[in-house]
DNA sequence: CTATATTCTTAACCCAGGTTAAGATCGTCA
DNA sequence: TGACGATCTTAACCTGGGTTAAGAATATAG
């Protein structure tokens, strides 16, 4: 399968984008590769593109004004959309950095083209809604993890639900994602050995 | 202004719903009043309606399995949409209770009718997308509060950004919303007197 | 205007995570 | 292989929130 076919298939699965609707979008998709540490979008930049990850892992992080620490917010991997959603939707400067953690390849589309597609076809308006719903689920899950679970529970759930991340990301990045410091994660891991 | 006109105006402001698009929806909106403590939607129920609050305040809360404590997730008030968004969108059982904290009045529409409107008009498909984006912002703000702020900072921001809630909701409900116990909120308040 | 329920604060003790700094382990590349 | 950098763990001490239970303040109803 070509990369375009992969994209077509994924969009069909995700939002019922059919051949003719995909045709409308075909001229707009572009391809880009990232080296480890390169940015998809940076702090204060407006995110103008919606990306589809063909291969690789990205992380979105926040830099705390006071502590100057990086706090990981999301991980994105293969066959997922990567986007700084709020910035993209409101076309306002982003609060985050989104960087590639590996060699990565994406296909991406400009917001103006996407907006154009929204106007041209119900399918694409539907796609926009489904992307929004997906973004909502990501954010809500994140909020729930912090509101209802302890760091230890979050750690266990990460291992359960995202072994791909757990296995491919250094522990200090995972600690940050869990909202704790690296030494605390070490203590949690030690505590759990007995169980 | 009649209640229908208020709704029409609000929908136009929010999503550019024009007179003719509103006409399509007019037969579907219904009115309902709630007493203090009555539920908009309960745990394990599928949320089938999207509500628009004409007057009153609602809270959405989670009951923790272990502690059996109520944890407040969202407050909704006048001129806002009230909905258990995830449950509504996926038509799956809700994890939350949403109850009226005051005497309240809403206008509401059934998901099937809304879906029908999505199919009939771009305007309504757009409305669906904007509701999704609003829900995303709510959830993301909540996640950010917990990921990046201390309880004290969350408290200060609540006073700043939501004085309506701060002034009309008992402190133990606010403590729960901030993710802490009532005695901790008391300590924070005491600590701040000096500042 | 009292009585009662609700809400809020306080005190005492406990514990998980933060902080800092040192050292152990692991990987990788010359 | 050996040396360096990256990652992970550990120790010691600190701090803020949790827990429980009591009491103070505030509302509300009779």
CATH number of the domain bearing residue B128: 2.60.120.10
Q: Are strands A49-55 and A81-82 parallel, antiparallel or unpaired?
A: antiparallel
Q: CB neighbours (10 Å) of residue B13? A: 10
Give the CA distances from residue A99 to residues A30, A178, B151, in Å, rounded to whole numbers and listed in that order: 18, 18, 29
User: For residue A195, is it within any domain?
Assistant: no
User: For residue B13, is it within any domain?
Assistant: yes
Q: CA at A194, C1' at C18: how many angstroms apart? A: 24
Q: What is the mean pLDDT of residues A52-71?
A: 91
Does B36 or B195 have the greater pLDDT score? B36
| pLDDT for the residue numbered B58 | 93
User: For residue A185, is it within any domain?
Assistant: no
| pLDDT for the residue numbered A194 | 58
User: For residue B182, is it within any domain?
Assistant: no
Chain-chain contact of A64 with B148 (C-beta, under 8 angstroms): yes
| pLDDT for the residue numbered A195 | 52
Q: What is the DSSP secondary-structure string of A76-133? A: EETTSEE--HHHHHHT-B-SSEEEESSSEEEEEEEHHHHHHHHHH-HHHHHHHHHHHH
The Cα of B116 is separated from the nearest Cα of chain A by a number of Å equal to 13
| pLDDT for the residue numbered A10 | 85
**What is the average pLDDT score of chain B?**
93
From chain B, the residues in CB contact with A122 under 8 A are 119, 122, 125
Q: What is the mean pLDDT of residues B40-58?
A: 95
The pLDDT of residue A86 is above 70: yes
Give dist(CA A139, CA A143) in Å, integer.
6
- Overall domain count for chain A: 1
Q: Which of B32, B82, B31 is nearest to B53 (CA)?
A: B82
Nearest residue of chain A to residue B122 (CA atoms): A122
The pLDDT of residue B159 is above 80: yes
Nearest residue of chain B to residue A129 (CA atoms): B129
Enumerate chain B positions whose Cβ falls within 8 A of a Cβ in A.
Answer: 62, 64, 71, 73, 85-86, 89, 118-119, 122, 125-126, 128-129, 132-133, 135-137, 139-140, 142-144, 146-148, 179
- Strand D bases near protein CB (under 7 Å) are 6-12, 16-21
User: For residue B154, is it within any domain?
Assistant: no
The Cα of B132 is separated from the nearest Cα of chain A by a number of Å equal to 6
Give dist(CA A184, CA A168) in Å, integer.
20
Preferred mutation among B143, B151, B152 to probe A, highest tally of A CBs within 10 A: B143
Q: List, in sequence order, every residue forming a beta bridge with B104; answer none if it has no partner.
A: B34
User: For residue A94, is it within any domain?
Assistant: yes
Give dist(CA A145, CA A147) in Å, integer.
6
Q: Do B25 and B124 form a contact (C-beta atoms < 8 A)?
A: yes
Give dist(CA B33, CA B20) in Å, integer.
27
pLDDT band at B6 (very low <50, low <70, confident <90, very high): confident
**What is the average pLDDT score of chain A?**
93
Q: Which helix (H) or strand (E) holds A185?
A: helix A182-193
User: For residue A170, is it within any domain?
Assistant: no
pLDDT band at A67 (very low <50, low <70, confident <90, very high): confident
User: For residue A135, is it within any domain?
Assistant: yes
Q: What is the mean pLDDT of residues B174-178?
A: 98
Q: List, in sequence order, every residue forming a beta bridge with A81; answer none if it has no partner.
A: A52
Give Cβ neighbours of residue A165 (< 8 Å, ≥ 6 apart). Answer: A57, A75, A77, A158, A174
Residue B37 region by backbone torsions, left for phi larger than 0, else alpha for psi between -120 and 50, else beta: left
Beta strands in chain B (DSSP E): 30-34, 39-41, 49-55, 57-63, 70-77, 81-82, 97-100, 104-110
The pLDDT of residue B32 is above 80: yes
Tell me the residue range of the domain where B41 lies: 3-148
The pLDDT of residue B195 is above 70: no
Across all strands, nucleotide nearest B190 (CA–C1'): C9
Nearest residue of chain B to residue A90 (CA atoms): B133
Give dist(CA B10, CA B22) in Å, integer.
11
| Span B94-137, pLDDT tens digits | 999 999 998 899 999 999 999 999 889 889 988 988 898 899 99
Give dist(CA B116, CA A43) in Å, integer.
40
| pLDDT for the residue numbered B182 | 98
Across all strands, nucleotide nearest A184 (CA–C1'): C17
Give the distance from CA A165 to its chain's centroid.
Answer: 12
């Amino acid at each position: 399968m070509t990369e375009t076919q992969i994209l077509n298939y994924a969009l069909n699965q995700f939002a019922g984008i059919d051949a003719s609707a995909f045709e409308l979008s075909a001229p707009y998709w572009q391809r880009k590769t990232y080296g480890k540490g390169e940015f998809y979008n940076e702090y204060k930049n407006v995110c103008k593109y919606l990306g589809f990850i063909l291969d690789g892992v990205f992380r979105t992080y926040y830099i705390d004004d006071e502590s100057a620490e990086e706090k990981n917010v999301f991980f994105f991997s293969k066959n997922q959309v990567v986007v700084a959603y709020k910035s993209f939707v409101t076309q306002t400067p982003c609060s985050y950095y989104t960087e590639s953690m590996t060699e990565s390849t994406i296909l991406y589309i400009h917001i103006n083209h996407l907006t154009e597609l929204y106007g041209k076809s119900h399918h694409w308006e539907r796609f926009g809604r489904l992307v929004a719903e997906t973004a909502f689920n990501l954010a809500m899950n994140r909020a729930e993890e912090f509101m209802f679970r302890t760091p230890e529970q979050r750690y266990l759930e990460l291992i359960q639900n995202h072994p791909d991340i757990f296995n491919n990301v250094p522990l200090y990045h995972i600690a940050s994602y869990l909202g704790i410091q690296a030494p605390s994660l070490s203590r949690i891991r030690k505590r759990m050995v007995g169980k």
